[in-house]
């Protein structure tokens, strides 16, 4: 079959050819009408092989999805569809892609063809369509898209999201260069180095931040390509707001570093902080107190009142400990019903006894969990870092031993070792 360009505007057709984003035009029956070079490359085809009758590029498991998409577009041809689906590479493996598709009606408002954009999810992380690809789809994109002059970084064009997200009108945006929204390129030399790097790689994905008109910033991921059009190079940047992703990363970091029930630091965070505490204490000749706390008869409380009440007591104990120490001190959950409080920068043992007595007093009042008032006693063991006398691990062990000595006495008890 001889490949022919569809009856489209020549300029748009040429842009389809040069764009790095895979593009497909298909007929209402699903037959391929045209695919660009980027699509062939993504699926491993050359020449006109992809048009052969025995070639199916959709994964067999998603054939029904194609029919659903066509039915939806028949009912609402002016509403673009964005969906994840699978395709088959010529070598047989699966390509996971994001499909952006819109129907092109004819003069009688019947579907003439479907215009599709495929984004290889593994390659460019779900980046959406570039404006020079599909004018209709681009302004429905979830990403900001910019056309930039590579010489000085002047912004030549942008979709609606490009200027709306930054708080500008389109006219205002086109008066700016990249330096105005990304101040890291504060001189021509840095911008030139950036452009040459993109040129060498062909495509570059970077994480940075963009500055809005009001001066606020937000994190972005930009997929930047060099496109040659009429023997002139342009930069096409597809820019995604990754604020939510960064929030999730912070949430994941918090989950990795905090006890999920009490939200106290776990052992990993504790170890890092203790190193700094001991170094500072040694330099300033101050004390660091390691205070190991175990809730007495906690298993009996759990068995008598249930795990919900038990969890409430653990959270309540964590809050009491946290609120009665300084911000510079550390409260950590060591596991089960055991906690560790580390007080740093203590001047002398007299001051230490005053501070530890406050911890003891936290267990003089009952815990109110839902409608229950429950008395909880604690065994508290204390060891002290002084003049580099031991490492953090040893001091925690000593405090633990002191806590067991405290258990030998009735009521909430402090024991110093």
Report how far apart, in Å, the C-alpha atoms of 192 and of each of 56, 183, 211, 237 are.
Answer: 44, 14, 21, 16
The contacts of residue 275 (CB under 8 Å, 6+ apart) are 392
User: 363: Cβ–Cβ under 8 A, 6 or more apart, which residues?
Assistant: 320, 376, 377, 378, 412
Same domain, 265 and 409: yes
Identify any residues that bridge with 105 across adjacent strands, giving them in sequence order: 111
Half-sphere exposure of 124 (CA within 13 A, CB side): 25
Question: What Å distances lie between residue 285 and 354, 389, 399, CA to CA?
Answer: 19, 12, 21
The CATH number of whichever domain residue 112 belongs to comes to 3.30.450.20
pLDDT score for 364:
87
pLDDT of residue 139: 65
Q: How far apart are CA 262 and CA 45, in angstroms?
A: 56
pLDDT at residue number 347: 84
Q: Give pLDDT, residue 247.
A: 78
Q: Would residue 251 count as lying in a domain?
A: no
The verdict on residue 389 lying in a domain is yes
Instruction: Say what the pLDDT of residue 284 is.
Output: 87
* CATH number, residue 341: 3.30.70.270
How many CA atoms lie less than 13 Å away from 267 in the CB half-sphere?
6
253 part of a folded domain: no
Helical axes 267-284 vs 243-257, angle rounded to 10°: 80
Residue 257's SS3 state is helix
Flag whether 241 is in a domain: yes
Token representation of residue 320: 């009491």
Query: How far apart (Å, rounded) are the C-alpha atoms in residues 315 and 348?
Result: 31
Is 112 among the domain residues?
Answer: yes
pLDDT of 124: 45
- Whether residues 223 and 319 fall in one domain: no
Name residue, tokens 């000749």.
285
Per-residue pLDDT tens over the stretch 248-259? 876 665 566 677
Write the CB contacts of 145 (distance below 8 Å, at least 6 apart in sequence).
Answer: 128, 129, 130, 131, 138, 158, 159, 161, 162, 236, 237, 238, 239
Paired strand residues for 204: 224
Task: Report residue 346 as tokens.
Answer: 């203590």
Are residues 263 and 383 located together in one domain of the fold?
A: yes
With a cut of 70, list the residues of the chain below it in pLDDT.
Answer: 1-13, 122-140, 187-188, 250-257
Residues 287 and 359 in one domain: yes
Look at residue 308 and tell me if it is in a domain.
Answer: yes
Q: Are residue 263 and residue 407 in the same domain, yes or no? A: yes
- pLDDT at position 136: 46
Query: In 364-383, which positions are buried (b, 16+ CB within 10 angstroms) versus exposed (e)?
Result: eeebebeeeebebebbbbbb
Q: Are residues 276 and 406 part of one domain?
A: yes
Domain boundary among 60, 90, 124: 124
Domain range for 14 is 10-124
The answer to whether residues 202 and 96 belong to one domain is no
Under a CB-based contact definition with an 8 Å cutoff, are residues 363 and 379 in contact?
no
Total number of domains constituting the chain: 3
pLDDT at 5: 46
**Is the domain of 113 the same as that of 29?**
yes
Whole-number pLDDT of residue 129: 35
R_g over Cα of the chain: 32
Q: Is 401 a member of any domain? A: yes
401 and 368 within one domain: yes
- The overall pTM is greater than 0.75: no
The confidence score (pLDDT) of residue 339 equals 92
pLDDT value at position 79? 87
Per-residue pLDDT tens digits for 333-390: 888 899 999 988 888 888 888 888 888 888 888 998 888 888 899 999 999 988 778 7
The verdict on 175 and 267 lying in the same domain is no
* Inter-residue contact 62 to 85 (CB < 8 Å): yes
Could you tell me if 235 and 267 lie in one domain?
A: no
| 309/407 same-domain check | yes
Residue 213, domain member (yes or no)? yes
User: How much is the pLDDT for 130?
Assistant: 42
């Amino acid at each position: 079959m001889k490949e022919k360009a569809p009856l489209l505007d020549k300029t748009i057709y040429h842009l389809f050819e040069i764009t790095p984003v895979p593009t497909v035009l298909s007929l209402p029956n699903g037959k391929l009408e045209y695919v660009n070079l980027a699509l062939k490359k993504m699926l491993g085809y050359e020449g006109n092989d992809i048009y052969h009758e025995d070639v199916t590029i959709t994964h067999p498991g998603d054939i029904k999805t194609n029919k659903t998409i066509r039915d939806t577009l028949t009912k609402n041809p002016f509403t673009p569809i964005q969906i994840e689906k699978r395709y088959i590479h010529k070598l047989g493996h699966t390509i996971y892609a994001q499909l952006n598709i819109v129907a092109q009606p004819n003069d009688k408002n019947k579907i003439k063809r479907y215009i599709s954009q495929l984004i290889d999810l593994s390659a460019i992380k779900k980046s959406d369509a570039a404006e020079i690809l599909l004018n209709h789809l681009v302004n429905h994109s979830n990403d900001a898209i910019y056309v930039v002059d590579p010489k000085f970084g002047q912004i030549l064009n942008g979709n609606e999201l490009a200027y709306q997200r930054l708080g500008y009108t389109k006219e205002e945006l086109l008066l700016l260069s990249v330096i105005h929204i990304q101040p890291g390129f504060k001189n021509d030399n840095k911008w030139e180095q950036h452009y040459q790097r993109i040129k060498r790689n062909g495509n570059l994905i970077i994480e940075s931040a963009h500055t809005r008109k009001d001066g606020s910033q937000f994190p972005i991921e930009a997929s930047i390509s060099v496109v040659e059009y009429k023997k002139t190079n342009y930069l096409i940047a597809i820019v995604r707001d990754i604020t939510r992703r960064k929030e999730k990363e912070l949430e994941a970091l918090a989950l990795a570093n905090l006890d999920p029930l009490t939200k106290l630091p776990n052992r990993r965070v504790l170890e890092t902080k203790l190193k700094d505490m001991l170094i500072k204490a040694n330099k300033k000749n101050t004390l660091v107190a390691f205070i190991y706390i175990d809730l007495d008869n906690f298993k009996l409380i759990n068995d008598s009142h249930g795990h919900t009440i038990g969890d409430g007591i653990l959270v309540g104990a964590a809050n009491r400990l946290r609120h009665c120490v300084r911000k510079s001190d550390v409260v950590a959950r060591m596991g089960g019903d055991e906690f560790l409080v580390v007080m740093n920068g203590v001047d002398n043992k007299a001051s230490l006894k005053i501070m530890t007595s406050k911890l003891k007093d936290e267990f003089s009042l009952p815990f109110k969990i839902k409608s229950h008032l429950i008395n909880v006693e604690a065994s508290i063991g204390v060891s002290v870092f002084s003049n580099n006398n031991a490492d953090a691990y040893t001091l925690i062990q000593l405090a633990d031993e002191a806590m067991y000595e405290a258990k030998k006495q009735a009521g909430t008890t402090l024991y110093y070792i």
